[in-house]
Amino acid sequence: ALKADGRKRALALAAWKQRVNKNWSKVRITAVESGPTDNLPVGEHLPVTATVNLGELGSDDVIAELYFGRLNFEGQVVNGATSEMKAVAAVDKGEVKFEGSIPCNQSGQLGFTVRVIPSHEDLAQKHETTHITWA
C-alpha cells in the first residue's frame, strides 16, 4: 500500500516522521485532572482530563493514552493497561484538552498516568517512532 501511486503514501509518512522528530521535544503534558479517587467503587469509571501542549503538532498527529493499573510498593503501575483519550477542545495556541476514563475493575491500590505518542495511519506499530511523553 505504501508503494502504490508512485510511493505517495511512503513519501508522506517519511515527511510526517521528519516533522514529528523535529517538533517532539516541544510536546508537554501541562495538566492532568481527575474526578474524586477516594473510595471509588468497583464497576465505576474515573473521568480524567489532560491538557497537552503539542507545539507545532496537531491532535491528529498524536494519541493521548491513560496508563493505569495496580501499584507496586514503590508506587509504580505494574502490568498496566491503556485507554485512549479523545481530543475534545483546543485550549490555547498549541494546547489541546483530552478526555478519557479509567474503568475501576478491581479493588486495592491503583494508579494512573497520561502519556502521549505519535500516531499516523501508516505506522507499522504505534511505538515505531520511539517517542513518548509522560505526565
pLDDT at 105: 86
Q: Residues 67-87, buried b or exposed e (16+ Cβ, 10 A)?
A: bbbebeeeeebeebeeeebeb
- Within 10 A of 117 (CB to CB), how many other CB atoms are there? 19
CATH label of the domain that carries residue 12: 2.60.40
pLDDT digits (tens, 9 = 90+) for 35-76: 887 778 888 999 999 999 999 999 999 999 999 999 999 999
Specify the pTM.
0.89
> Which domain does 39 fall in, by range?
4-134
Q: How many domains does the chain have?
A: 1
pLDDT digits (tens, 9 = 90+) for 92-116: 888 999 999 999 888 888 899 999 9
Q: Residue 70 in 3-state DSSP?
A: strand
